[in-house]
Amino acid sequence: MDWIDLRSDTVTRPTEGMRQAIASAEVGDDVFGEDPTVLRLEERVSSLLGKEAGLFVASGTMGNLVALLTHAGRGDEVILGDRSHTFLYEVGGCAGLGGIHPHTLENRDDGTLDLAAIEAAIRDPSNVHFPKTKVICLENTHNRCGGIALSPEYSDAVAALASRHGLIVHLDGARLFNAAVTCSVEPTRFTRSADSVTICLSKGLGTPVGSVLCGTRSFIETARRMRKAVGGGMRQVGILAAAGLHAIEHHIDRLADDHANAAKLAAGIDALDGLSCEQVGEGTWSNLVYFSVDGPALGQPELDAEALCGRLKERGVLALPLGAKSPRIRMVTHLDVSSSDVDTALDALRSSLRGT
Ligand SMILES: *Cc1c(COP(=O)(O)O)cnc(C)c1O
């Protein structure tokens, strides 16, 4: 079956052009620092983000983990949002592997943390009872907050606060290019307020594998050791970096298409009886669409998120229910979803709601 797969932007398959780039990549042993394609990718991404150096890593999870292991030690504290990917979905790695103490603050619906709450969470370094606050993490775009982009001005305000307290800012920019595109700014507008940043190549940019962690040269030197420690030293990995270089050249500007498709999908969903979508109205939305189904209102009390996703699947459309107890469903637009696929998905939703 030719699925329309809206579960995630990680489901993309490499394009023909990307496969050719992979096939012709020049490679070497990257642990020896001898893979020219990896070196080119690290250089390209770090200059795009206005940072001194970059490090190719296996995943966004590894990028964030290596960043935190590099910035903070055992017993140090990191401030992060209670809906952040790092807190929710990265297996507690910073605590489990690094002994780093997570101090969560409420993520507001726009993905931000209240500045006064950050200020209040920072520990008095002279008090012997307290862990030392080292890092503040931001996420942009914010996955669990509906793919919203945090504003450059907010990012600057967090950076200013961090700098007043001598703290480090790490940016989980898994979808940073989506944020730049939806805010119509250069990615550096966000990264200048962060000491380190992770970007994912394997989300909307459409590569099979890979993320890049960027920061100062000395940060990256230490991060390279941490990457080795967590088993992330890879060898002729230029075949993957080549996909990343191809994506950087060809798949950033087109994220605007994903955003337009997501906006069309969101509006179409919100217009259907029994469904309410979160990504409607004003907002720096991107390629994520979250909505809830109200089965009882439709006279179908059995129609919860999982049941609706089941009906969609019978119609060739894959969507992600957010768990047994949640009425929410996620749909994501990406490289392999066209505007007419959105029409097809909306038709499938219409008939799924009727149950016919
Ligand atoms: C996907 C994602 C990650 C982790 O990336 P993986 O490559 O899946 O490990 C980190 N942060 C955010 C916001 C993400 O969406």
pLDDT tens string 294-313:
999 999 999 999 999 999 99
In this predicted structure, what is the pLDDT of residue 355? 80
What letter does residue 116 receive in the DSSP assignment? H
> 7, 8, 57, 61: which to mutate for ligand 1, most atoms within 8 A of CB?
61
Please state the pTM of the whole predicted model.
Answer: 0.97
> 139, 172, 320: which to mutate for ligand 1, most atoms within 8 A of CB?
172
CA 232 from centre of chain? 20
Q: Which amino acid is at 321?
A: P
CATH class of 16-250: alpha beta
CATH level 3 topology of 254-350: Aspartate Aminotransferase, domain 1 (3.90.1150)
> Rounded to an integer, what distance in angstroms lies between the CA atom of residue 198 and that of residue 160?
20
What would the mean pLDDT of 102-111 be, rounded to a whole number? Answer: 97
Cβ–Cβ < 8 Å for 6, 332: yes
What is the position in ligand 1's atom list of the atom closest to the CA of 84? Answer: 13
State the residue for tokens 């450059």. 152
- Between the alpha carbon of residue 75 and those of residues 95, 121, 295, 325, the distances in Å are 9, 16, 47, 34
CA of 174 to the centre of ligand 1 (A): 6
Sequence-separated (6 or more) residues with CB below 8 Å from residue 299: none
CA of 197 to the centre of ligand 1 (A): 12
In this predicted structure, what is the pLDDT of residue 356? 63
Residue 201: count of CB within 10 angstroms of its CB: 29
CA of 196 to the centre of ligand 1 (A): 15
What would the mean pLDDT of 77-96 be, rounded to a whole number? Answer: 98
> Rounded to an integer, what distance in angstroms lies between the CA atom of residue 263 and that of residue 49?
27
> 142, 198, 200, 203: which to mutate for ligand 1, most atoms within 8 A of CB?
200
In this predicted structure, what is the pLDDT of residue 308? 96
pLDDT tops 90 at residue 1 = no
CA of 187 to the centre of ligand 1 (A): 18
**Where along the chain do its domains lie?**
16-250, 254-350
Cβ–Cβ < 8 Å for 205, 248: yes
- Between the alpha carbon of residue 64 and those of residues 3, 43, 95, 274, 335, the distances in Å are 32, 19, 12, 38, 25
For a pLDDT cut of 70, what percent of the chain falls above it? 99
> 8, 56, 142, 143: which to mutate for ligand 1, most atoms within 8 A of CB?
143
Cβ–Cβ < 8 Å for 270, 280: yes
Radius of gyration for the chain, computed over Cα atoms and rounded to the nearest angstrom: 21
What would the mean pLDDT of 218-245 be, rounded to a whole number? Answer: 98
> Rounded to an integer, what distance in angstroms lies between the CA atom of residue 91 and that of residue 278?
27
CA of 213 to the centre of ligand 1 (A): 12
- pLDDT class of 85 with cuts at 50, 70, 90: very high
Q: Mean pLDDT in the chain?
A: 97
The larger pLDDT score, comparing residue 61 to residue 326, is at 61
The residue contributing the CA closest to ligand 1 atom 3 is: 60
The residue contributing the CA closest to ligand 1 atom 10 is: 60
What letter does residue 49 receive in the DSSP assignment? T
Lowest mean pLDDT among 210-219, 297-306, 331-340: 297-306
In this predicted structure, what is the pLDDT of residue 237? 98
What is the tens place of the pLDDT at every residue in 262-283? 999 999 999 999 999 999 988 9
Residue of 72, 190, 211 whose CA lies nearest to 131: 72
The residue contributing the CA closest to ligand 1 atom 4 is: 60
In the chain the first and final C-alpha atoms are separated, in Å, by: 20
Q: Which residues line ligand 1 (CB under 6 A)?
A: 59-61, 85, 139, 143, 172, 174, 200, 202, 211
CA 20 from centre of chain? 26
Q: How many helices (H) and strands (E) does the chain have?
A: 14, 13
How does strand 133-139 pair with strand 317-318?
unpaired
3-state SS, residue 159? helix
State the residue for tokens 């992330």. 232
State the residue for tokens 């088993």. 231
Q: Which amino acid is at 204?
A: G
What is the position in ligand 1's atom list of the atom closest to the CA of 64? Answer: 10
**Sign of the CA dihedral with 311 first, then 317, 323, and 326 last:** negative
Sequence-separated (6 or more) residues with CB below 8 Å from residue 145: 83, 107, 108, 109, 110, 111
**Angle in degrees, 0-180, between the axes of helices 60-71 and 217-229, rounded to the nearest 10:** 110
In this predicted structure, what is the pLDDT of residue 324? 77
- Between the alpha carbon of residue 76 and those of residues 91, 94, 102, 220, 227, the distances in Å are 18, 10, 9, 20, 20
> Rounded to an integer, what distance in angstroms lies between the CA atom of residue 43 and that of residue 39?
6
